[in-house]
Amino acid sequence: MKKNTRINVLLLLSLLLIPALFSFDLYFPLGIAAGVPYVALVLIGLITQQSKIVLVMALVGTILTVVGYFLSPEGDVPIVAIINRGLALFAIWSVAIVSFIHLKALDRLEPLARRDQLTNLYNRHYFSSEIVQQINLWRRHQQPLSVLILDVDFFKNINDSYGHITGDYTLQTLASIFLKHVRDVDTVARIGGEEFAILLPSTAINGAMNMAERIRLSVEAYEFKYESFEFSLTVSIGVTEITDESWSVIEFLKKADEMLYKAKKTGRNRCIASHINN
């Protein structure tokens, strides 16, 4: 279930629960349950993983708790009702504050969980989940889907000659070059030491090959400079488009890897596609 759909379902559930919770609250005006059921609304807000919704749910629970006090049956001991309602508000806001802090922490951690720390590109884990989603969309809509696998030629020489810090600079620079050539819908990831992948939705093999060539030429023409070091390098790129509904993610990437291997075996600094449409 998509995130927005899940949120809408949970909000609808909240609206359906409010009358039941309010009736339960009024039925036990002096009991420990007075106002406490509204904690359920805060927990529903937590499940949506939206910190603002948590606060809205806590506010709704607060309003209902106060209204419940004034609608309580006559004859209730005022001090007991006030204490119970106060405890209910404490419970509601304790859960809300903890939930809010928790969700804010997740918001800060989420980018770290899906990004490569060196290049700030997506990492292999995120790329793997994205390619699964895109293949599922391709099976439903039959829109073309292509992938590039890129490897830096003789990258080990950079580390050996100029040091690993220069190697890190090189990978960061390459990442910025790749990003200049892609669209917002494309996914660029670092999937290994000097290996990258670019997922191209709604792109057939010819368009993917054109992008690969532009990237290859941009890297070849770029003058890398770090401190006193100046050098050039190239990349080899394997290109493929998914064409068989029986292909799994592994088979899709394997085909691109085979094209990358062929590019490296036939001289490097080239792009090779699994096929080209006429």
Q: What is the per-residue pLDDT across 146-177, written as a single tens digit (0 to 9) for each?
A: 999 999 999 999 999 999 999 999 999 999 99
Instruction: Kindly report which listed range (5-19, 50-64, 70-84, 99-113) carries the lowest average pLDDT score.
Output: 70-84
Percent share of the chain, pLDDT over 70: 92
Residue type at 48 in one-letter notation: T
Annotation marks residue 220 as catalytic: no
Among residues 74, 110, 194, 251, the one annotated as catalytic is 194
- Report the first-to-last Cα separation within the chain, whole angstroms: 39
Give DSSP secondary structure letters for 232-254: ---EEEEEEE---TT--HHHHHH
Q: What is the pTM of this model?
A: 0.69
Q: Which structural domains are found in the chain, ordered by start?
A: 3-112 (no CATH), 124-273 (3.30.70.270)
**240, two tokens:** 């493929």
Buried/exposed code over 215-246 (b: 16+ C-beta within 10 A; e: otherwise): bbeebeeeebebeeeeeebebbbbbbbbeeee
Q: Over the stretch 245-264, which tens digit does the pLDDT of each residue have?
A: 888 899 999 999 999 999 99
Region 23-31: mean pLDDT is 68
What confidence score (pLDDT) does residue 77 get? 64
